[in-house]
Chains A and B, each alone.
Chain A
Amino acid sequence: MIMFNYLKDTPTIQKISINRSVLFGIGLLIFLSIAGTLLVPQFGSYANIRSMLLLAAFLGLASLGQTLCALLGGLDMSIPYVIGSSNILLAALLNWGVPWLPACLIVLIGGLAVGILNGVLSFRIQGQSLIMTMGVGLAVVGACQILISTGSVYGGTVLGTVPQWLRDVSSIAGTTFGLPIPPIVIIWIVVAAIVVTAMAKTSFGRSFYAVGGNRLAASRILISEYRMWLIAYAISGGMSALTGMALLGFSGGGFVGVGDPYLFTTIAAVVIGGTSLMGGWGGYGSTIVGTLVLTFLTTLLVGLGLSYAMQQAVFGLLIIPIVAFYARDRSIGDQI
Chain B
Amino acid sequence: MNLNEKARSLLTRNQHLLTSVCLSAFLLLVAAFRAPQLFSSSGIGSAIIVLAPLVLASLAVTPIVLAGRGGVDLSVGPLLGFLNVTLVAWLVEYGYSSPTYVIVYLVGIGVLYQIIIATIIIYVRVSPIIVTLSAYLVLTGVNLVILDRPSGVAPEWMFDWGNGATVFSPVFFVLCGMIVLWAIFSRTAFYQQILLTGGEERMAFASGVNTVGARFGAHAVAGVYTAMAALCYTALIGSGDPTQGSTYTLSAITAVVLGGTSLAGGRGGGLGSILGSICIYLISYVLATFNFGTVSGFVTQMSTGVVLVMSLLVNSAISRPAGETK
Contacts and interface: CB of A to CB of B under 8 A. Distances in A.
A333 interface: yes
Contact of B134 (A156, A319, A327): A319
A187 B179 CA distance: 55
Contacts of A8: none
6 contacts: A134-B250, A155-B298, A264-B133, A309-B141, A309-B143, A312-B138
Contacts of B14: none
Contacts of B142: 309, 313
Interface in B116-169: 120, 124-127, 129-131, 133-145
Contacts of A311: 141
Given A135-B307, A277-B130, 14 more contacts: A125-B262, A125-B264, A135-B308, A142-B304, A145-B301, A149-B294, A264-B133, A307-B144, A309-B143, A310-B145, A315-B137, A317-B134, A324-B124, A328-B125
A217 interface: no
Contacts of B299: 142, 146
B326 A126 contact: yes
Interface stretch (B23-31, B200-208, B219-227): B200-208
A199 B256 CA distance: 37
Contacts of B126: 320, 323-324, 327-329
Given A127-B264, A130-B263, A142 B305 contact: yes
B305 A139 contact: yes
A312 B142 CA distance: 9
B141 A332 contact: no
Contacts of B326: 126-127
Interface in B50-85: 70, 72
* Chain A, interface residues (CB within 8 Å), range: 35 or more
B21 interface: no
B239 interface: no
Nearest to B265: A127
A307 B142 CA distance: 11
B312 A332 contact: no
A95 to B, nearest CB: 17
Nearest to A307: B144
What is the predominant secondary structure among interface residues of chain A facing chain B? Answer: helix
B297 interface: yes
Nearest to B242: A309
Contacts of A312: 137-138, 140-141
A293 B274 CA distance: 42
A137 B309 CA distance: 10
Name, among B120, B250, B305, B316, the residue most crowded by chain A CB atoms within 10 Å (CB to CB): B305
Given A139-B306, A155-B297, A317 B262 contact: no
Contact of B305 (A75, A138, A146): A138
Interface string A129-173: 011101111111111011001101101100000000000000000
Nearest to B256: A131
A124 B140 CA distance: 33
Given A127-B326, A313-B142, A140 B305 contact: yes
Contacts of B129: 75, 130, 267, 277
B231 interface: no
A262 to B, nearest CB: 14
B211 interface: yes
A331 interface: yes
A131 B304 CA distance: 12
B10 interface: no
Given A150-B295, A317-B134, A128 B141 contact: no
B104 to A, nearest CB: 27
Contacts of A153: 294
Contact of B309 (A126, A139, A150): A139
Contacts of B139: 313, 316
Interface string B247-260: 00010011001000
Contact of B312 (A125, A309, A333): A125
B294 A319 contact: no
B86 interface: no
A271 B306 CA distance: 29
A136 B294 contact: no
Given A131-B257, A135-B306, A320 B134 contact: yes
A335 interface: yes
B198 to A, nearest CB: 11
A319 B129 CA distance: 11
Contacts of B127: 277-278, 329
B302 interface: yes
Contacts of A130: 72, 129, 263
B313 interface: yes
A271 B130 contact: yes
